[in-house]
Amino acid sequence: MDIKSTLKKGEAILRAVNNKSASNDARVLLSHVLNCSQTFLISHYDYQLSKDEEAKFAEFIELRAKGVPLQYITGKQEFMSLHFKVNPHVLIPRQETEILVETIIDYVRNRRSTLKNSKSILNKKNTLNILDIGTGSGCIAISLAYYIQNCFIIATDISKDALETARLNASLNGVDGKIDFVVSDLFENIGSKKFDIIVSNPPYIAKKDLERLDSEVKDYEPATALDGGEDGLDFYRAIIPKAPFYLKEGGILAFEIGYNQARDVVCLMEKFFSDIRIIKDLDKNDRVVIGGISSERI
Ligand code: GLN
Measured CA to CA in angstroms, residue 254 lies from 9, 196, 228 at distances of 46, 11, 17
| Best residue for ligand 1 mutational test, from 135, 144, 233, 235 (most atoms within 8 Å of Cβ) | 135
Q: Which atom of ligand 1 is nearest to the CA of 132?
A: 1
Would you state the pLDDT for residue 126? 80
Q: How far apart are CA 233 and CA 167, in angstroms?
A: 28
Residue nearest to atom 10 of ligand 1 (CA): 93
Residue 296: per-residue pLDDT: 44
- Calculate how far, in angstroms, residue 203's C-alpha sits from the geometric centre of ligand 1: 7
Q: How far is CA 84 from the centre of its chain?
A: 10
Handedness of CA 203, 206, 211, 216 (dihedral sign): negative
> Cα–Cα distance between 294 and 285 in angstroms, integer?
27
Q: Which domains, from first to last, does the chain contain?
A: 3-66 (1.10.8), 79-292 (3.40.50.150)
How far apart CA 104 and CA 116 sit, in angstroms, is 18
**Residue ranges of the chain whose pLDDT lies below 70:** 115-125, 294-298
Question: Ligand 1 centre from 137 Cα, in Å?
Answer: 7
Within the chain, residue ranges assigned H as helices are 3-16, 22-34, 38-43, 51-66, 70-74, 97-114, 139-147, 160-172, 207-210, 215-220, 234-239, 262-270
pLDDT per residue over 21-46, tens digit each?
999 999 999 999 999 999 999 999 99
Give the separation between CA 79 and CA 69, rounded to whole angstroms.
16
Given this model, what pLDDT does residue 295 score?
47
The set of residues, in sequence order, having a beta carbon less than 8 Å from that of 3 and lying 6+ positions away, is 30, 41, 44, 45, 46, 47, 49
Query: Can you give the pLDDT at residue 118?
Result: 56
Cβ(139) to ligand 1 under 6 A? Answer: yes
The Cα–Cα gap between 152 and 195 comes to 10
